[in-house]
Chains A and B, each alone.
Chain A
Amino acid sequence: QKEVEQDPGPLSVPEGAIVSLNCTYSNSAFQYFMWYRQYSRKGPELLMYTYSSGNKEDGRFTAQVDKSSKYISLFIRDSQPSDSATYLCAMSRLSGQNFVFGPGTRLSVLP
């Protein structure tokens, strides 16, 4: 079993839809969680960074962490074609320690 699982997609949604992206993990010691967006031929771009359980909102993006279920989510409201990318979750036990990545979910937002 991989440490971090993520539905690879591809996921296609119409413009304006609410998108839900999810990761599950097996290591209960993970405390720091990140979501990255990666466009083709580019490096991962940080979207959200959260610690422990709870919600964090930034514009159209909301990150949720449920440590009891070992489950994290990223919600994108009012999705735009420019949101079409691969979304990666990453997590670590300690801040600054190496992060473990999920395989990524490819998202296409259709105009």
Chain B
Amino acid sequence: EAGVTQFPSHSVIEKGQTVTLRCDPISGHDNLYWYRRVMGKEIKFLLHFVKESKQDESGMPNNRFLAERTGGTYSTLKVQPAELEDSGVYFCASSHDKSSYNSPLHFGNGTRLTVT
């Protein structure tokens, strides 16, 4: 079984530019989550999709961040325009069944975003 894959693994952009991160969850996982870790801080929740619907986007920092999951498969997270404080590692995770105890999160390796 392929794990959660994220692309790109590393992105360096200038302040004001746009970046789009992509996440392919484990096949069959309806739940997809975005988390991020900014420098020196803990991993923090951004949002949660169930299939193509946003279940919880309470962690999205502001309207410069836009997440989509068209068709309920892969997801994209766009940052536009990027600011210096957006630098960090963006993780995607997926799980099979929201209501099941035996459905923990499986993480990708993250996208390391550097805004200069």
Contacts and interface: CB of A to CB of B under 8 A. Distances in A.
A66 interface: no
Interface residues of A, number: 25
Interface stretch (A9-17, A68-76, A77-85, A92-100): A92-100
A96 B103 contact: yes
B26 interface: no
Contacts, number: 62
B108 A43 contact: yes
A55 B110 CA distance: 31
Interface of A: 2, 4, 32, 34, 36, 41-46, 49, 51, 88, 90, 95-104
Interface of B: 4, 6, 31, 33, 35, 41-45, 48, 56, 58-59, 91, 93, 95, 97-110
23 contacts: A2-B42, A4-B42, A32-B101, A34-B104, A43-B109, A44-B43, A44-B107, A45-B107, A46-B105, A46-B106, A49-B102, A51-B101, A95-B98, A95-B100, A95-B101, A96-B31, A96-B95, A96-B98, A96-B100, A98-B56, A98-B59, A101-B42, A102-B42
